[in-house]
Structure 1
């Protein structure tokens, strides 16, 4: 330990030696203090923050839900359940708020990174006046590591060219990162980074790979090494698996555990969960189960032919959460020797359950995000029932299940106005610091409270200056006061909420809320004027679930809270409210930088893991792809360029010595155009031209293939994807990573056999006017695909 350090200025300033300087080191008066590394104050605990993705309050069995989570329950039995802990209702905002101890608009994350605007509360750029907690801890002598999801990097900074200042190992304060940068990932074949370097998964799904298991293995190994080499140095580990965000992927044997267990449907499931929650004590005995909103269909009104699929969707999700619990248990078990002195936060959901899967759910959620949900007919879904959860699926459950997983509250993820979107069961475990075992805490708390709690537990002051920049105060409230006093008066007494213009304010038990937008209305919905939104009023001192609207009986209190919401909104950069759709997708109108400019882009061999934001957009317009290659005498094979993957995309490649263009629509339909003759040996240009039909989004077009300007093949693509190919697959030159667009090759056999000098993508003359092909309201779907 380093005594008497000034810890409010970071990095901690070096103190020069003051004293006698001798000429000869052998002089008896030669004396210098020994070199010491910075360490936190004595008694500072290890810290493990576990953040599960897209889990509602009523999902985990630890809070009365149907998804069996015995390891969560075990942790709670030796720690504390926090029954009124809140998030922001969306992933990126919750994560940035958690990591900084400030409200999401205060740190520029009023929404997901893909919809950032120039308004201060929505830039997705972390102000340097609000240093993240991991950086503060690292500069105070903690080892720091993050595993899993990072969805806080501005989209124009996600390419391999950086800058990496917003990445976990850049300005994020983490010394080690293993995970992914986007909002979701294929659990069977993810796009992974170690630090800022893209890497491939260590094995395939056929060999037993699953992302959650991989993340857990890496976390266990990191912690063991850290303690083996630096036993006197505490760690801060942030474990944020992609589970249980869509796509819902889990080994089949876990799904079998739930077969037939959801035949009663979501309405009945709400009732079952509600009773369990009362038995557990996570809601009071007089709590009221809130009713189903008319926008959510009743189970009995669903098509009977579709119900087996709906059941399967929920079986897969429940299995996914139990599978996640299993691996969290592995991580906790591995920390056994140091768990006594480890402060564990297990936050079961970064928002409420996700209602982004349509009213019937989906086998490939990209269908809905492309405005093509109708392609997944009940007959199609039934034909895929046994494939849900597997490698060939990219599924999401129906809205009704999301609502059931938020029992006993109203609404879901995205709806920050109601507790269904923001209240997440949370478990805090710290044997050395918490005397009560298995207790419940009902004080209001929020994700911004985590950072000040950790600092108080570690005895570290909030910094006033970091890297020479004066810091703004934390906006959260430490929860340490409640650790050993169950009835302590709550200290976090006021909290605003806003997401997609769904708004709420909590103040001393009361809440005023208004819902502005429905989560699954991803385009085409007409937004009401903000002043026409209907506000509701709830007295949480007697109404735990927001079941009894008092707005008509007590308009004075409602107006008081509405004014308070406005004051807080001004204070924390919530204004201006922004429910625009197309304008926020377009970087120019949104006011954010765009990595790619113009209608032409040159790429080179070896470039890969390029997100859709890193490549010119070829959708809904004519385009040409030209590659200069050198083909060996034995002929060509392999990928020249590919974008997307198994669940949608396109590829220009060589097979059987011939050039071929493959367009994959959602993994459901595919179109091939192949050259009529082999590619000649030597240096030449291979070109494919796509002439878009126009007249709307997702239309087809004519394809022509050329060798050195000579036509060698033509054909049709009858349908295309209008908004997005994938939330996690990328563009690669000379090979294809991840899942493959075409079944003609695998990722391991995709390498081009010749030499590629360059590849150029050119958009057609119609690209300047391409927006007229697309209903502006519908384009909002592309952003929703990223959260």
Structure 2
């Protein structure tokens, strides 16, 4: 069984009864919590006695420097996150209990990893009630967030916490997810449970291990060889080291001796107890960089056998060792297709900005048909920051045919072409702000062409546009969008023909059917873009 919980990744969604349990628990702030976490870790034997607290960046604000309004908002963010985390553990516990109810728990290997990276700073400097704002470089104001506090964690929000909480949750480390050379970005607590096989249970194993050790561990436990071919296709040799050797020998010599890390140019290399790293930028400081990929500068060196939290940089003391570690990183990077290094962050989301080819290449038109559902953004034409049109060819038979003809994104950002009260309509959802344009004419019986045109202003990303709707060649609605989404409609909701799966772009159900499914006949939907050199060039 592979069970992958949504917790505790954003969005943090959980029932109010869980959130209520944590009311007031974070009012002291992230600085106090960070210190308390370290003391509790030492007391529990998880962290070695004498571990120092790594120094957090100066750009992380002190809790006492915040306004009372900010403290109120940010405390609520942590309450929701804590509730979501507990609920995720509870649901994993239900799975374990089901195995126990079958009488098979002692004979079952359970590997429980508490995350896929360290706590995230992707909430940036304020957190968000709608994390899509972060993806598109739009800041939320304290007043806007305070107005959403009672809804925070519910279905009308897509919440993420302030980056200060990430640093506290990653105690005693200094950094976070996206900083690949810091254990705050990569280390997760892991529990392995198998009473019938593990004779020395209940203890702690300190050997370096990595997520790529999980598959080799399972294969060895099941007495299965690592596959060399699957369906006739030769496999890349499986990396990682089985952890079975630690089950009955807590002090066994470490076998996973080398591991590289890299994301957005931030990189590190672990080798025989030493960790070397360089940080190009803190995610919340982007696009400002501390070091550059080109210069290959800013490297630090740590002895993890004596420095659990990576708080004592030994680069100046051991320059030859650091040089060897840098060479080791390059060897691993070449072997594992890490190169070329790319130190961009949000720019990567838009293929045209990132310089990344897409499935569609240079095409400017695409035809889509019913039952094309859940299409991710990069699989169809990108209609952001460019003039575009959507044309639907429908055949109206009469009766209640209201519903969605085409939608992209969801409640927290996107657009939708639909029929409501027998009139064609178009809604542009600017990350929670809805702009709707409705035909003054009803849709006639028989074949019709519904076309919506967006004439992009150009002069940079996220700019405005003049819009118009046409029904069988006649303009039936027109208006203006003063702003458009610059980077991403959604990272987890796609595009659908004939319905709107997931959360609704229009924040309501259109027509009587599930997913606002269109009741008439859709022959084809055509999306076109009309790029100009001036579209993304700032004025």
Under TM normalisation by the shorter chain, which class is it? over 0.9
Equivalent of 2:378 in 597, 605, 613: 613
Q: Secondary structure at the match of 2:514?
A: coil
On the 8 A contact 1:628/1:758 being kept in 2, the answer is: yes
Partner residue of 1:420? Answer: 184
1:340 aligns with 2:97: no
1:640 aligns with 2:405: yes
Partner residue of 2:282? Answer: 518
How many Å apart are 1:724 and its aligned residue?
Answer: 1.0
How many Å apart are 1:687 and its aligned residue?
Answer: 1.5
Q: Structure 1 CA distance, aligned partners of 2:10 and 2:117?
A: 14
Partner residue of 1:752? Answer: 518
Residue 319 to residue 675, structure 1, CA distance change in 2 (3 Å):
same
Q: Secondary structure at the match of 2:503?
A: coil
How many Å apart are 1:242 and its aligned residue?
Answer: 1.8
Aligned positions of 1:675-714 closer than 5 A: 675-714=439-478
On the 8 A contact 2:280/2:291 being kept in 1, the answer is: yes
How many Å apart are 1:607 and its aligned residue?
Answer: 2.4
Deviations 1:585-637 (A, max 9, x none): 53797565514651111122332222212221111121122222222445752
Residue 715 to residue 392, structure 1, CA distance change in 2 (3 Å):
same
Q: Structure 1 CA distance, aligned partners of 2:515 and 2:313?
A: 61
Equivalent of 1:289 in 42, 50, 53: 53
TM-score when normalising by structure 2: 0.93
Q: Structure 2 CA distance, aligned partners of 1:589 and 1:679?
A: 41
Aligned positions of 1:485-496 closer than 5 A: 485-496=249-260
Q: Structure 2 CA distance, aligned partners of 1:700 and 1:464?
A: 54
Partner residue of 1:390? Answer: 154
Aligned positions of 1:711-726 closer than 5 A: 711-726=475-490
On the 8 A contact 1:635/1:679 being kept in 2, the answer is: no
On the 8 A contact 1:464/1:470 being kept in 2, the answer is: yes
How many Å apart are 1:679 and its aligned residue?
Answer: 2.0
Q: Structure 2 CA distance, aligned partners of 1:583 and 1:439?
A: 43
1:655 aligns with 2:420: yes
On the 8 A contact 1:620/1:773 being kept in 2, the answer is: no
How many Å apart are 1:466 and its aligned residue?
Answer: 4.0
On the 8 A contact 1:636/1:679 being kept in 2, the answer is: no
Partner residue of 1:540? Answer: 304
Partner residue of 1:445? Answer: 209
On the 8 A contact 2:53/2:173 being kept in 1, the answer is: yes
Q: Structure 1 CA distance, aligned partners of 2:252 and 2:169?
A: 30
Q: Structure 1 CA distance, aligned partners of 2:81 and 2:337?
A: 36
How many Å apart are 1:692 and its aligned residue?
Answer: 1.6
Q: Secondary structure at the match of 1:561?
A: helix
Q: Secondary structure at the match of 2:452?
A: strand
On the 8 A contact 1:514/1:535 being kept in 2, the answer is: yes
1:531 aligns with 2:295: yes
On the 8 A contact 2:376/2:495 being kept in 1, the answer is: yes
Deviations 1:41-90 (A, max 9, x none): xxxxxxxxxxxxxxxxxxxxxxxxxxxxxxxxxxxxxxxxxxxxxxxxxx
How many Å apart are 1:446 and its aligned residue?
Answer: 1.4
On the 8 A contact 1:596/1:615 being kept in 2, the answer is: no
1:265 aligns with 2:29: yes
Q: Structure 1 CA distance, aligned partners of 2:29 and 2:354?
A: 44
Mean CA deviation greater in 700-709 or 295-304: 295-304
On the 8 A contact 2:351/2:358 being kept in 1, the answer is: no
Partner residue of 1:358? Answer: 124
On the 8 A contact 2:279/2:290 being kept in 1, the answer is: no
On the 8 A contact 1:621/1:770 being kept in 2, the answer is: no
How many Å apart are 1:302 and its aligned residue?
Answer: 2.4
On the 8 A contact 2:386/2:535 being kept in 1, the answer is: no
Q: Structure 2 CA distance, aligned partners of 1:589 and 1:282?
A: 42
Partner residue of 1:630? Answer: 395
Deviations 1:183-215 (A, max 9, x none): xxxxxxxxxxxxxxxxxxxxxxxxxxxxxxxxx
Gaps of 5+ in 2: none
Residue 584 to residue 652, structure 1, CA distance change in 2 (3 Å):
closer
Q: Secondary structure at the match of 1:676?
A: coil
Residue 750 to residue 358, structure 1, CA distance change in 2 (3 Å):
same
Residue 635 to residue 707, structure 1, CA distance change in 2 (3 Å):
farther
Q: Structure 2 CA distance, aligned partners of 1:390 and 1:736?
A: 20
1:325 aligns with 2:122: no
On the 8 A contact 1:734/1:756 being kept in 2, the answer is: yes
Residue 348 to residue 624, structure 1, CA distance change in 2 (3 Å):
same
Q: Secondary structure at the match of 2:77?
A: helix
How many Å apart are 1:528 and its aligned residue?
Answer: 2.2
On the 8 A contact 1:366/1:666 being kept in 2, the answer is: yes
Partner residue of 1:222? Answer: none
Deviations 1:457-507 (A, max 9, x none): 222222344444554543322211111111112122222222222122222
Partner residue of 1:7? Answer: none
Q: Supply the RMSD in Å over aligned alpha carbons.
A: 2.3
Residue 600 to residue 570, structure 1, CA distance change in 2 (3 Å):
closer
Q: Secondary structure at the match of 1:306?
A: helix
On the 8 A contact 2:499/2:518 being kept in 1, the answer is: yes
Partner residue of 1:783? Answer: none
Partner residue of 1:46? Answer: none
Partner residue of 1:199? Answer: none
How many Å apart are 1:280 and its aligned residue?
Answer: 0.6
Partner residue of 2:15? Answer: 251
Residue 622 to residue 593, structure 1, CA distance change in 2 (3 Å):
closer
Q: Secondary structure at the match of 1:537?
A: strand
Deviations 1:405-462 (A, max 9, x none): 1111121111111111111111111111111231111111112222222222222222
How many Å apart are 1:735 and its aligned residue?
Answer: 1.9
TM-score when normalising by structure 1: 0.65
Partner residue of 2:168? Answer: 404
Q: Structure 2 CA distance, aligned partners of 1:279 and 1:467?
A: 50
On the 8 A contact 1:663/1:670 being kept in 2, the answer is: yes
Deviations 1:95-117 (A, max 9, x none): xxxxxxxxxxxxxxxxxxxxxxx
How many Å apart are 1:738 and its aligned residue?
Answer: 1.3
Gaps of 5+ in 1: 1-236, 776-787
Q: Secondary structure at the match of 2:75?
A: helix
Deviations 1:345-367 (A, max 9, x none): 11111111111111110010101
Partner residue of 2:436? Answer: 672
Q: Secondary structure at the match of 2:536?
A: helix
Q: Secondary structure at the match of 1:389?
A: coil
Q: Structure 1 CA distance, aligned partners of 2:53 and 2:515?
A: 55
